Amino acid sequence: MTTPYAGKTALIIGGTHGIGLETARLLLTRGAKVLLTGRRAEPVTTAAHELSAAGFPSSSFTAIQSDITSLPAIRDLIPRVESSFGAGTSIDLLFVNAGYAVFEPTTAVTEEIFDRTFNTNTRGAFFVTQTLLPYIRPGGAIVFTTSVSIHGGFPGLSVYSASKAAVHSFAQTLAAELARYPDGKEGPGIRVNVVSPGYVDTPTMGTSRVTEEEIVEHKKYGAASTPMGRIAQPEEVARAVAFLGFEATFTSGEEVLVDGGSRLLKTMPA
C-alpha cells in the first residue's frame, strides 16, 4: 500500500455514508488522517465500525456527531479538530459534503423544506467554511459537493438546485479571495473547488423522504438518463475529491463534473 498522503489531514463534513464515507476510506488508504462528521448519532457509529472493520486503526480517524445547521455545533468543531489532529495541526483538506434534498415540484415546496434545504446546503456550508478557515493550512484545499443539477432544469429539484448553485458561486468568490497573488500579499493560497456528481449509487440516492421502491426506480431512471448508461459508484466521486484536494495544485475556482455525461443532455429524457 502506498501512502502518498501520509502526514496529511482531512475534515469531511457529511462523511458517514455514500460519497463522504468513500472519500474517507480512500484518503485513509492513502495515508491521511481523517475527521468525519454526521448529523445523526447512528450513522456516525456505523461509519466508525465500518472503517474499523476495514482495518484502519482508530488513531487514523475520528467520527463525530455534528449538525451543520447549528452555529454552536460548527464552533464546537474547532476543539474536535485539535483533539483529532493535534494542537497546532492544520487541516490540509476541508471537504464540505453535507447535503439535504427532497423531490418536490415547486408548487408543493413548504417553508420547512425550503429552510432546511438552504440551512443545510448553503448556510451550513458557508458558516462551517468561515469558521474553519483559520485552521486550514496555507496551500491547503477546500472542496464542496454541488450537483450537476445546477446546470439545467431538473423537475422536482428547484430548491435543491438553487441551494447548490449558491454554493458553486460562493466557491468561486472564495477561491478569488484566498488565492495568493504574485506579490505574495494576497490570501493564504488555499485552493477552492467543487465536485458536481450526477446520479450516485448511495443508500438514499442523495434524497430524503423516499421509500425503498422509489430508490430502486430512481436508480433505474438515473442509469437510463445518463449517457454512459449507468450511475456512478461513490468511490468514483471520491477519486475526484482526492484529485481536487491533493493533486490539482494549480486548480482553483473550478468544477469537476462526475456525471457520466449527464450535462450533455439538452433536455430531460422522456
| Contact criterion met (CB below 8 Å) for 32 and 9 | yes
Sheet with 191-197, side-by-side order of all strands: 61-65, 33-38, 9-13, 91-96, 136-145, 191-197, 255-258
What residues pair up with 265 in beta bridges, in sequence order? none
Residue 38: how many other CB atoms lie within 10 Å = 27
H or E segment at 33? strand 33-38
Residues involved in catalysis: 160
For residues 196 and 164, what is the distance between their CA atoms, to the nearest angstrom? 9
Q: Which residue has the cell 445518463?
A: 226
